[in-house]
Amino acid sequence: MTNAPPELAEAYGPGTTPEEAGLAAREWLRAALPEAWREAGERGGPAAVRQLRTPDEYRAWYPKFSSSGLVAPTWAVEHGGLGWSTAAARSAERELAPYHLPRLNPLGLNLAAPALFAYGSEDQRRRFLPPIVQASEVWCQLFSEPGAGSDLASLSTRAERDGDDWVITGQKIWTTWADQADFAILLARTDPDAPKHQGITYFLIDMHQDAVEARPLRHMGGETEFFQVFIDGARVPDSQRVGEIGNGWRVAQATLGGERQMVAGTGSGGVDRVGGGSALNLVRLARRRDEKGLSGGWQDPVVRSSIVRLWCEERTRQWTNQRVRELLAQKVSPGPESSIGKVHGSDLNQRIQGAAAGLLGMNGLAWAGLPDVDADYAETMPREVMGMLRSRANTIEGGTSEVNKNVLAERVLGLPKEPDLFKGMPWRDLPRG
């Protein structure tokens, strides 16, 4: 049992200093965190907490976290936050870090919220942001299509006006956690006679309607976190349109910037997701090899040097991402800075996850209890192997590395854009296939 957590929004509102924020977080942790979790975090940090706590236990406890305002402390109180400065939020986050308190509903927090802050109405923000913080309404993203991946602006999902509603028909793909989602951010074409970037509108669609069907796509790690979504006459009130009609591409840039920021982080996101973790986890794996008397562990200078190099890169990535987080905290849509973190972070995470799997030795190639290939073999796969397999998507999701390098080349280095033979042509006249 724990004591009731303090009402942070009343005692530590806007204007809270970083020192006060750190104190507030410590007070809240003492009152709200289960004693066993707190002791594990103090003893061994996030790794010890993960070993002790199950994802289901964390989800059951999460309402305490979401009601504190510490999930998104820079957001206004009426939006589910505390109205704190970025510096105050960082101070609180340092206090929370040892206890491994990941945010649920990451697609709502990182993809839907930036668009709502940048282009949504205040009514939309008050309606949708608090449930995002509480994770009482889970979100997914309906952007990519079978014929519109890297060239997202060529999408063909249609939205047609019908009184106060829009009727949407089309197909989306690679939608993460579509089976769990209550709402989705969606791009649809509202004017096929406009150039492809100008005829798109941004919507918030209720996933709980018969006209929306999600079908799973199993990836090579054995999980089914990706889905293809079929939409056949789904209805969306005009009140759930974000931004002006035909301005969806601009609104989407806020979401895409947040997505690149999210993917740029080491690991695959979510709650207790699989993965080899950070470079510090490589130290633990390497030392385990030493303890077992195996070669290629922490005492090997080549292994040690490679891990330290990865750790240095990880710190650089964290500093780069911090600049983007500060923009998001100020309700500013991130620009090409998010592409820098995404390109570097995707490649770095693949190398970290690959190193983690490599440190398992033969256990990274075969493991006990492997069931038939048709079964859910993810249950028996080592976390490090699962993380390595999952990380292969990092250079594709959130915009491919090639697309993001083009963004950096054009918007940071000032290089000329590639020639576009169809620039300004109406979407309906563009060649297909």
Q: State the amino acid at position 7 in one-letter form.
A: E
For residue 259, indicate whether it is catalytic. Answer: yes
3-state secondary structure 82-135: CCCCHHHHHHHHHHHHHHCCCCCCHHHHHHHHHHHHHHCCHHHHHHHHHHHHHC
Return the axis-axis angle of helices 55-68 and 122-134, rounded to nearest 10°: 140
Single out the catalytic residue among 95, 223, 259, 384.
Answer: 259
Contact indicator for 387, 276 with CB cutoff of 8 Å: yes
Q: What angle do CA 184, 264, 316 make, to 5 degrees?
A: 155
Q: CA-to-CA distance for 81 and 76, rounded, in angstroms?
A: 5
Contacts of 70 (CB under 8 A, 6+ apart): 8, 25, 28, 82, 92, 96
Q: What angle do CA 84, 89, 93 make, to 5 degrees?
A: 155
Contact indicator for 160, 236 with CB cutoff of 8 Å: no
Going by the DSSP 8-state scheme, the letter that residue 203 receives in this structure is E
Q: Which of 349, 347, 343 is nearest to 402 (CA)?
A: 343
Q: Which two tokens stand for residue 200?
A: 């798109």
> Active-site positions?
259
